Amino acid sequence: MSKLNILVVDDYLDNRLLLSQIITIMKHDCQSAENGKMACDMVCEHYFDIIFMDIEMPVMNGIEATREIRKMPPSRREIPIIAITAHHPNDFSTSFKDIGFTDYISKPYTLNKLSTLITKYCSTK
């Protein structure tokens, strides 16, 4: 797999830094945003191979941001968006998939969990 460009969206700086560090250790490029509005603006300007999106954020939450990204042109709306959630995996219902999330990762995340998701959705890149 070649080097990927990954976007991390989370309102908590510590969470963004931790996830960004893990992604950097995996030898990928990583950018971050602190809310969904910033994420949407960044997706309009740059291509990302995958997006890790927190669900609960001020300004624009992850659900609203994912809905907006899914309305963008095909090159943008087809980017895998992984929901970041503190809830139990069984809480990731079909409604989240209907919103446009590709998958989820629950906190706390590990290198192995992230690697598995990145490989699953970006293995052809």
| Nearest in space to 47 (alpha carbons), one of 67, 17, 73, 9 | 73
pLDDT given at position 98: 82
**Which of these, 88, 80, 84, lies nearest to 18 by C-alpha position?**
84
User: 84 — phi, psi (to 5°)?
Assistant: -100, 120
Number of folded domains that form the chain: 1
Give the range of the structural domain holding residue 14, as residue numbers without chain letter: 5-122
For the chain of 125 residues, list the mean pLDDT of each consecutive stretch of 10: 91 92 92 97 96 93 95 92 77 72 85 89 74
pTM above threshold 0.85: yes
Q: What is the pLDDT of residue 91?
A: 55
* pLDDT for res 94: 60
pLDDT at site 92: 57
- CATH number at 24 reads 3.40.50.2300
